[in-house]
Amino acid sequence: MEKTTKTTVILGASPKSDRYSFMATERLAKHGHPVFPIGIKAGQIGQNAIITDRPSIDNVDTVTLYLNPTNQEDWKEYILSLQPKRVIFNPGTENPEFENELSQQNIEAIEACTLVLLSTGLY
């Protein structure tokens, strides 16, 4: 079975190694997924520099959120512009209103933990 890679944007990426966004970036990269960690503070997560602007990224499979619902507001337009196949709302980021908006755009919105999905082979 050929393993498919999923281009993933990590929104809310942090250079602090105890943060889930940091761990998710490392594990996604270790699993061979192209990662784009985007955050407000410049820094490094393994081989990946944290991106502090909103670049255009092609063929995004997944956006995984580490932003609380209030902070998501400023990012909605950007997330939609990436046209991802799915958006993962990690614990603490659940946002039914935005999830509904995504569904209306035919973007899968799931409430899950990226780290759990990776460790169980369901990513």
Overall average pLDDT of the 45-69 stretch: 97
Give the total residue count for the chain.
Answer: 123
Asked if the structure places residue 3 within a domain, the reply is no
Q: Give this prediction's pTM.
A: 0.95
* pLDDT on residue 4: 86
Q: Looking at residue 1, what is its pLDDT?
A: 43
Who contacts 56 (Cβ-Cβ below 8 Å, separation ≥6)?
81
Q: Is residue 20 part of a domain?
A: yes
Count of structural domains, the chain: 1
Q: Is residue 2 part of a domain?
A: no
- State the chain's maximal CA–CA distance in angstroms: 41
Neighbours of 44 (CB within 10 A): 11
* 77-118 per-position pLDDT tens digit: 999 999 999 999 999 999 999 999 999 999 999 999 999 999
**Of 76, 4, 72, nearest in space to 34 by CA:** 4
* Residue 114, domain member (yes or no): yes
Q: Is residue 63 part of a domain?
A: yes
Flag whether 1 is in a domain. no
Instruction: Give the structural domain span for 96.
Output: 8-119
CA count, 13 A, side-chain hemisphere, 38: 18
* Contact yes or no for 46/25 (Cβ under 8 A): yes
Q: Looking at residue 3, what is its pLDDT? A: 66
Query: What phi, psi does 18 have (nearest 5°)?
Result: -90, 0
Residue 91 in domain: yes
pLDDT of residue 69: 97
Q: What is the CATH number of the domain that holds 77?
A: 3.40.50.720
